[in-house]
Structure 1
Amino acid sequence: MTADISVTEIQPVAVIGPTATGKSDLGLDLAERLDGEIVNIDAMQQYRGMDIGTAKLSVAERRGIVHHRLDVLDVTETATVANYQEAAVRDVEDILARGKTPIVVGGSMMYVQSLLDEWAFPATDPEVRAKWEKVLVEGGTDAVNRALRERDPEAAASILATDGRRMVRALEVVEITGQPFAASAPTIGEPRWGTRLLGVDRDTAELDERIARRTDLMFSGGLVDEVRGLVGEGLKDGVTAPRAIGYAQVLDYLDGESDLDYARERTFIGTRRYVRRQRSWFRRDRRVHWLDGADPSLLESALAVLSP
């Protein structure tokens, strides 16, 4: 690590907030103005081939700006917060060492906290983990969600009800530590490296419309074919990738468990529900300077916040 780097010289910028608010464009604009490189902090954009359903920027759309933590996992691999944290810390410190500005962009809540607040994760217990994984396999996500609601309602409210792996991990931590899952989270203080946090949000009705348009574009733009191709690469064998919003719904469609319109509707509803959780999570962080994604002077507003 490069502990001798002074954050007074270069401070990273984190552009965070709900899905579909305009974070990616602002991140690119800031990278151009601040001589920066992008560090992705969207869990599912780490997967190779998961492009349409994650709204991943194409290479052409990246404006020649270097992006890190994109396309680093196969769909059969498990995405974990701890592994992301270790790799992203190296990326940020390498960017700083080269005299450039890290621009951290995305909305995966626990990933943001792990990177910026140095989250130290509780140890794992194979027997406890196996017990809850058995509940997941035999009873599905509904079963582990019910168990988590009984033991830790706050954790159940903050984790997607379809995210079986994270619910299993929360149950494991609660059982091992005897404390709520949130008790293992770090105390909110000075962000690592003196990172400045910018939050991008929009009016709820407008954001719902953007989510609806994005969902329609994904389905009309080839999401089903993308998922069908990823099935051939082992998507169903993965733990985290097949549970991503959009991908899980299309897999149900391909398996004959729903029709396409229902898959599209459930993708929209799942995304909208996730956005509400993101907003609730990020709004609790008083270090975040909030910006309106609909502001035509968004870049200028962001730069004004970042000015000394």
Structure 2
Amino acid sequence: MLTDKQPDSARLLILIGPTASGKTKLSLEIAKTYQCEIISGDSMQVYRGMDIGTAKASPEERRAVVHHMIDIHDPDEPFSAAEFQERGSRLIAEITARGRLPFVVGGTGLYVESLAYGYQFSDAGSDEEFRAEQELFLRQHGAHALHDKLRAVDPVTAERLHPNDSRRIIRALEVHHLTGQTLSSQLAGQKKRSPYDICIVGLTMDRQLLYKRIEERIDQMLDAGLVEEVASLRSQGYSDELVSMQGLGYKEICACLRKELTLEEAVTLLKRNTRRFAKRQLSWFRHMKDIHWVDVTDTDQFDKHLRLINGIIEEKLINKTPQQ
């Protein structure tokens, strides 16, 4: 587990922002300027074969800048914030040892924050009987009823988790059952002192423009073959019920392929769900500390935004004195 910051602590650069805010393009330029290696902070990009729907950097982009935490699990393998933190902390040490700057880029708030501040994850253990009871409840009453159970005891965590994320919902209920404490209260009690010399840049933009960009991105994903990607995963035997297949884009297209929705209905639902996801991302980021916000609403001013971000990095990380 990470320790408190030491005088010779590693530097860590982080770029966060909601989906479709332009993180990838900016991150590539920043990485080239500061000799970075990028650590993906996205909980879905870890899965092999899930490329279009997770908006992974292209092979060309990954050849230009080294990327980590992409394609490290098959879609039927579990992945958690605790594993992300463990792998990420090891990567930071390795990248630093190579004389390069570790650069976390992503939009999964808990994952990024847990790495940035060295969170201690719950050691509550497990109660297999309780877990089986919740899984039976899920089968009998459905995902929304299970989500409502969590909302009743831990509304903060319920707001963060999608109703279809049954694995994490059951774990949050299990933590409350075993400890009498909510998962959100445990997270709120974490120390917010980073073990790193840290610089966090956050992207923000006009909400309506962000929603327009989200819808355009989804249209591009469909043109790039999102439906075919989901169909291929299903043909390989990956169940629609997997956590990975409940991700944005995959869940809605699975419903279409099961003939429960038309493609038009699935796309409308996907756009709505992604707008809601972006809203949840922004809500999480607003509760984080140490963020230097850059408004990127004027998308024609990419060079200006890049200069602003580079100025923040220079002041807060590169040229930082020990007293700062």
**TM-score computed with the length of structure 1 as normaliser:** 0.93
| Counterpart contact for 1:165–1:239, Cα < 8 Å | no
The question of 1:172 aligning with 2:174 is answered yes
Aligned residues: 307
Question: Structure 1 pair 9/157, CA: closer, same or farther in 2 (3 Å)?
Answer: closer
Q: What secondary structure sits across from 2:181 in the alignment? A: coil
Aligned partner letter, 2:306: L
Which 5+ residue runs of structure 2 have no aligned equivalent? none
Aligned pairs for 1:115-264 (under 5 A) are 115-122=115-122, 123-125=124-126, 126-185=128-187, 186-236=189-239, 239-264=242-267
CA displacement at 1:34 relative to structure 2: 0.6
Aligned partner letter, 2:164: T
Aligned partner letter, 1:209: K
CA root-mean-square deviation: 2.0
Distance, in Å, in 2 between the alignment partners of 1:7 and 1:143 is 50
Aligned pairs for 1:270-289 (under 5 A) are 270-289=273-292
Distance, in Å, in 2 between the alignment partners of 1:261 and 1:199 is 33
Distance, in Å, in 2 between the alignment partners of 1:138 and 1:274 is 27
Q: Which residue of 2 aligns with 1:304?
A: 311
Q: What secondary structure sits across from 2:196 in the alignment? A: helix
CA displacement, residues 96-135 of structure 1 (integer Å, 9 cap, x when unaligned): 1111001100011111122112222213313333322332
CA displacement at 1:189 relative to structure 2: 2.1
Distance, in Å, in 1 between the alignment partners of 2:93 and 2:243 is 27
Question: Structure 1 pair 215/7, CA: closer, same or farther in 2 (3 Å)?
Answer: farther
CA displacement, residues 122-175 of structure 1 (integer Å, 9 cap, x when unaligned): 133133333223322332211211101111122212222232222111111111
CA displacement, residues 205-261 of structure 1 (integer Å, 9 cap, x when unaligned): 100000010111111221010001111223216631110011000101111111000
CA displacement at 1:8 relative to structure 2: 5.5
CA displacement at 1:196 relative to structure 2: 1.0
Aligned partner letter, 2:59: V
| Counterpart contact for 1:10–1:99, Cα < 8 Å | no
Distance, in Å, in 2 between the alignment partners of 1:234 and 1:87 is 28
Q: Which residue of 2 aligns with 1:111?
A: 111
| Counterpart contact for 1:253–1:259, Cα < 8 Å | yes
Aligned partner letter, 1:164: S
Q: Which residue of 2 aligns with 1:67?
A: 67
Distance, in Å, in 2 between the alignment partners of 1:205 and 1:157 is 22
| Counterpart contact for 2:10–2:93, Cα < 8 Å | no
The question of 1:292 aligning with 2:306 is answered no
Question: Structure 1 pair 155/47, CA: closer, same or farther in 2 (3 Å)?
Answer: same
Q: Which has the higher mean CA deviation after the structures are superposed, 241-250 or 136-145?
A: 136-145
CA displacement at 1:87 relative to structure 2: 1.2
Aligned partner letter, 2:109: M
Q: Which residue of 1 aligns with 2:79?
A: 79
Q: Which residue of 2 aligns with 1:16?
A: 16
Q: Which has the higher mean CA deviation after the structures are superposed, 134-143 or 73-82?
A: 134-143
Q: What secondary structure sits across from 1:12 in the alignment? A: strand
Question: Structure 1 pair 136/101, CA: closer, same or farther in 2 (3 Å)?
Answer: same
| Counterpart contact for 2:89–2:115, Cα < 8 Å | yes
Q: Which has the higher mean CA deviation after the structures are superposed, 128-137 or 85-94?
A: 128-137
Distance, in Å, in 1 between the alignment partners of 2:266 and 2:7 is 46
Q: Which residue of 2 aligns with 1:43?
A: 43
Q: What secondary structure sits across from 2:142 in the alignment? A: helix
**TM-score computed with the length of structure 2 as normaliser:** 0.89
Distance, in Å, in 1 between the alignment partners of 2:194 and 2:95 is 17
CA displacement at 1:14 relative to structure 2: 0.6
Q: Which has the higher mean CA deviation after the structures are superposed, 130-139 or 26-35?
A: 130-139
Distance, in Å, in 2 between the alignment partners of 1:279 and 1:234 is 35
Which 5+ residue runs of structure 1 have no aligned equivalent? none
